[in-house]
Amino acid sequence: MADDPIIAQKAPYAFELVQGKRYAWCRCGRSKTQPLCDGSHKGTGIDPLVFTAESSGTAYLCGCKRTGNAPFCDGTHNDL
C-alpha cells in the first residue's frame, strides 16, 4: 500500500529543462532536491516519474504532487 504524497509546496517549481535530457520528477513530496527525486521515496510505494524533455526552456513542474498532468502543474494547488 502506497503512502499519500506530501505537498512539497502549493505552487509550481519553475525549472529549466534541456531538450532530450531525462529527469526524475518527485511524486512523493519527500525529496530534498525538489522538484526532482533524491531517493527519499524508498519504502513509500510511490516511485518518481521519469520523463525526457521534449524541448528546452522553463517548465512549471508540480509542487503539490496532485496534478492531473504530471509532471507539469495544472493549477490543482489552487484548490488545496
Q: Average pLDDT over the chain, rounded to whole?
A: 96
Percent of the chain with pLDDT over 70: 98
**Which set of grid coordinates corresponds to residue 52?**
525526457
d(CA 60, CA 79): 17
Residue-wise DSSP of 17-46: E-TT-EEEE-SSS--TTTTB--STTTTTT-
pLDDT band at 3 (very low <50, low <70, confident <90, very high): confident
pLDDT for 53 beyond 90? yes
> Domain map of the chain by residue range?
1-6+17-80
Residue 64 one-letter amino acid: C
Residue 46 one-letter amino acid: I
Cis peptide before 35 (omega within 30 of 0): yes
